[in-house]
């Protein structure tokens, strides 16, 4: 087979796999929720995802204070690796 | 028609032969290009899937959480607040939540302990996440020994282990009864960590929150929409990891394209001169370079995207998991439900394949329009 046809065939196979990705995703989404959340978990009404467990403010970012990474003492610097990846909560109704 | 197809096939044939002549250079270029696309596509898939899961999971979050602040820090909230908040018009339920963190000195892990009301949370029994079970090598029926804040041992029998599919919510959870929670943390009676408030009409939430804030000046209401927004923004493109990967990948890509766009090697220039002198038209030379750009960039795009999909959704994104893991002892396995955002993929295509192909063609157009003799002597 000519090299150009081999390349076009290879690209066609790649393209087919690429176009199948959305179909696979849609199929997987149809059963994903049941797997993720059992009734018991839903009853706990969790407020955060378990992305990182090393620090309180990255385990429960939505419940944390914006200053949580720096509150341990006046000159404390944020030092947990996940703290540089997970942003602080957007806005809380902070009270003076 | 057949003649046009044959012309393209012939030029493609020549392009591939030309690429294979400089095999080492072009294969390394393809590999680097593929890596850039792979990283960018992995990030797109990972972030889209996490955002979707966050949206689904947080749909079950309470309408509002009310915290109490003391000297700028979150403090325990008196259960008496619950009755007064429940009396506000529009509030249908107020549930005091008991939860906290337990540091396990045995393995350095942090657990999230929640007091649950479900029948499985009978005193002396606990439901644990798959991460906790793995860290402490537990099975259903085993005993989990913890130490209370007054140094007394608390033995919990494992009733259920959450499936690893729910790791994204429950990897580090230990659900215990209220009595065990009070015993474990020496938690004062009549207090709660925070209050979960349910409001009948979601449109009244800001009004109810304002009433709570006015009635209890030391309280901080957090609305469900704020929790959801926090998670939508966590993996925003301006956020830490996303920005680092995005900027480094785009910079590498700009270097590629810049290298291509700023000129041809003497060998490539000579090749164009020879082709022109043996009768190739300028359009043929441009077509040759077009196919060269397409062969490299389309292959890198398609393979990079497919590999990224496998990396994130079949292998649970080990590259990103390492970054999020940090110093965590317990971390979830990111078994994400696949999400493909066609808009983002199209954007990735137009940001990578199109500029690269253009950057390949333009310097050749300049070389192909000059005299063949001059091109060969360059």
Cα separation, B256 vs B318, in Å, equals: 27
Q: Domain limits of chain B?
A: 2-57+235-377, 99-186
- Residue A95's pLDDT is 44
A65 to chain B: which residues are within 8 Å by CB? 72-74
Higher-confidence residue: B92 or B368?
B92
Question: Is pLDDT at B268 greater than 80 in this prediction?
Answer: no
Q: Does the beta carbon of B329 lie under 8 angstroms from any beta carbon of chain A?
A: yes
Question: Is pLDDT at B239 greater than 80 in this prediction?
Answer: no
User: First-to-last CA distance in chain A?
Assistant: 76
Question: Is pLDDT at A76 greater than 70 in this prediction?
Answer: yes
DSSP conformation class of A87: P
With cut-offs at 50, 70 and 90, classify the pLDDT of residue B172.
very high
DSSP conformation class of A8: H
Q: Does the beta carbon of B330 lie under 8 angstroms from any beta carbon of chain A?
A: yes
Question: Is pLDDT at A96 greater than 60 in this prediction?
Answer: no
- Residue A44's pLDDT is 83
With cut-offs at 50, 70 and 90, classify the pLDDT of residue B2.
confident
Q: Does the beta carbon of B363 lie under 8 angstroms from any beta carbon of chain A?
A: no
A86 to chain B: which residues are within 8 Å by CB? 234, 239-240
Question: Is pLDDT at B291 greater than 80 in this prediction?
Answer: yes
Phi then psi for residue B198, to 5 deg, are -110, 130
- Residue A37's pLDDT is 60
Mode of pairing for the β-strands spanning B125-128 and B173-176: antiparallel
Question: What integer is the mean pLDDT of A50-77?
Answer: 81
Cα separation, B337 vs B334, in Å, equals: 9
- Residue A94's pLDDT is 47
Q: Does the beta carbon of B176 lie under 8 angstroms from any beta carbon of chain A?
A: no
Please name the member of B162, B218, B221 whose beta carbon is closest to the beta carbon of A93.
B221
On the 0-12 / 13-18 / 19+ scale of CB atoms within 10 A, A96 is: exposed
Higher-confidence residue: B288 or B234?
B288
Chain A's closest residue to B51, CA to CA, is A49
Please name the member of A7, A17, A81 whose beta carbon is closest to the beta carbon of B295.
A7
Shortest CA distance to B312 belongs to which of B279, B336, B292, B291? B336
Question: Is pLDDT at A33 greater than 60 in this prediction?
Answer: no
Number of residues written out for chain B:
378
Q: Does the beta carbon of B161 lie under 8 angstroms from any beta carbon of chain A?
A: no
- B contact residues 243-282, partner A, Cβ 8 Å cutoff: none
3-state DSSP assignment of residue A42? helix
Distances (CA, A) of A9 to A4, B26, B289: 9, 20, 20
Other beta carbons within 10 angstroms of residue B70's beta carbon come to 10
Question: What integer is the mean pLDDT of B132-149?
Answer: 92
Q: Does the beta carbon of B352 lie under 8 angstroms from any beta carbon of chain A?
A: no
Question: Is pLDDT at A35 greater than 70 in this prediction?
Answer: no
- The most confident of the ranges A42-46, B248-252, B275-279, B337-341 is B337-341
A42 to chain B: which residues are within 8 Å by CB? 60
DSSP conformation class of A89: P
Question: Is pLDDT at B265 greater than 80 in this prediction?
Answer: no
Question: Is pLDDT at A93 greater than 70 in this prediction?
Answer: no
DSSP conformation class of A72: S
- B175-179, B180-184, B279-283: which range is least confident on average? B279-283
Question: Is pLDDT at B37 greater than 80 in this prediction?
Answer: yes
Shortest CA distance to B344 belongs to which of A53, A25, A36? A25
A67 to chain B: which residues are within 8 Å by CB? 72
Question: Is pLDDT at A32 greater than 60 in this prediction?
Answer: no
Question: Is pLDDT at A81 greater than 90 in this prediction?
Answer: no
Question: What integer is the mean pLDDT of B76-101?
Answer: 93
Question: Is pLDDT at B188 greater than 80 in this prediction?
Answer: yes
Give this complex's ipTM. 0.84
Question: Is pLDDT at A34 greater than 60 in this prediction?
Answer: no
Cα separation, B33 vs B39, in Å, equals: 10
Question: What integer is the mean pLDDT of B93-105?
Answer: 93
3-state DSSP assignment of residue A92? coil
On average, the pLDDT of chain B sits at 87
Chain B's closest residue to A47, CA to CA, is B61
Cα separation, B44 vs B180, in Å, equals: 43
Q: Does the beta carbon of B324 lie under 8 angstroms from any beta carbon of chain A?
A: yes
Q: Does the beta carbon of B325 lie under 8 angstroms from any beta carbon of chain A?
A: yes
Tokens describing residue B202: 């979601």
> What is the second-level CATH architecture of the domain B99-186?
Beta Barrel (2.40)
Following CA atoms A65, B104, B121, B151 in sequence, which dihedral angle do they give, to the nearest 10 degrees? -100
Task: Please enumerate in sequence order all residues whose Cβ is within 8 A of that of B303, keeping only pairs 6 or more positions apart, or say none.
Answer: A14, B34, B37
Q: Domain limits of chain A?
A: 45-90
On average, the pLDDT of chain A sits at 79
- Residue B65's pLDDT is 94
- The most confident of the ranges A35-44, B18-27, B190-199, B323-332 is B190-199
Chain A's closest residue to B326, CA to CA, is A81
Question: What integer is the mean pLDDT of B307-320?
Answer: 91
Cα separation, B134 vs A59, in Å, equals: 19
Least Cα separation, residue A4 to chain B (angstroms): 5
Chain A's closest residue to B12, CA to CA, is A4
**pTM of the predicted protein model:** 0.85
């Amino acid at each position: 087979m000519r090299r150009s046809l081999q390349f076009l065939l290879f690209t066609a196979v790649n393209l087919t796999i690429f176009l199948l990705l959305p179909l696979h995703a849609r199929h997987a989404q149809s059963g994903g929720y049941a797997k993720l959340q059992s009734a018991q978990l839903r009853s706990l009404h969790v407020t955060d995802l378990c992305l990182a467990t090393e620090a309180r403010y990255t385990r429960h970012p939505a419940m944390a204070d914006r200053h949580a990474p720096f509150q341990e003492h006046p000159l404390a610097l944020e030092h947990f690796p996940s703290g540089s990846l997970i942003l602080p909560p957007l806005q809380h109704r902070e009270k003076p | 028609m057949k003649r046009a197809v044959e012309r393209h096939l012939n030029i493609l044939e020549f392009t591939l032969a030309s690429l294979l002549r400089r095999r080492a250079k072009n294969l390394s270029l393809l590999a680097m290009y593929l890596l850039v696309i792979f990283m960018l596509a992995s990030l797109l898939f990972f972030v889209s899937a996490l955002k979707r899961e966050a949206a689904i999971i947080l749909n079950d979050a309470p309408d509002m959480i009310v915290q109490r602040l003391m000297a700028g820090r979150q403090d325990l909230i008196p259960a008496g607040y619950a009755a007064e908040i429940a009396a506000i018009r529009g509030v249908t339920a107020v549930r005091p939540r008991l939860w906290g963190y337990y540091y396990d000195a045995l393995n350095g892990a942090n657990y999230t302990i929640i007091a649950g009301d479900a029948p499985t949370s009978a005193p002396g029994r606990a439901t644990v996440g798959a991460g906790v079970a793995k860290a402490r090598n537990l099975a259903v029926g085993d005993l989990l020994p913890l130490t209370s804040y007054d140094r007394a041992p608390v033995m919990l029998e494992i009733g259920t282990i959450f499936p690893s599919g729910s790791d994204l919510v429950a990897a580090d959870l230990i659900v215990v009864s209220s009595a065990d929670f009070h015993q474990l943390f020496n938690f004062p009676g009549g207090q709660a960590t925070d209050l979960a408030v349910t409001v009948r009409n979601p449109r009244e939430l800001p009004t109810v929150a304002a009433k709570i804030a006015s009635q209890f000046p030391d309280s901080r209401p957090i609305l469900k929409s704020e929790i959801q927004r926090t998670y939508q923004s966590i993996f925003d493109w301006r956020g830490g990891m996303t920005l680092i990967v995005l900027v480094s990948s785009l910079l590498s890509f700009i270097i590629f394209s810049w290298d291509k766009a700023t000129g041809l090697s003497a060998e490539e220039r000579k090749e164009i001169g020879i082709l022109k002198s043996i009768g190739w038209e300028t359009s043929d030379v441009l077509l040759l370079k077009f196919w060269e750009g397409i062969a490299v960039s389309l292959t890198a795009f398609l393979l990079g995207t497919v590999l990224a999909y496998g990396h994130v959704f079949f292998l649970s994104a080990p590259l990103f998991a390492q970054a999020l893991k940090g110093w965590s002892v317990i971390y979830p396995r990111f078994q994400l439900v696949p999400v493909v955002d066609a808009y983002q993929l199209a954007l990735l295509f137009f940001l990578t394949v199109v500029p690269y192909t253009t950057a390949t063609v333009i310097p050749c157009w300049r070389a192909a329009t000059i005299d063949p003799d001059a091109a060969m002597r360059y």
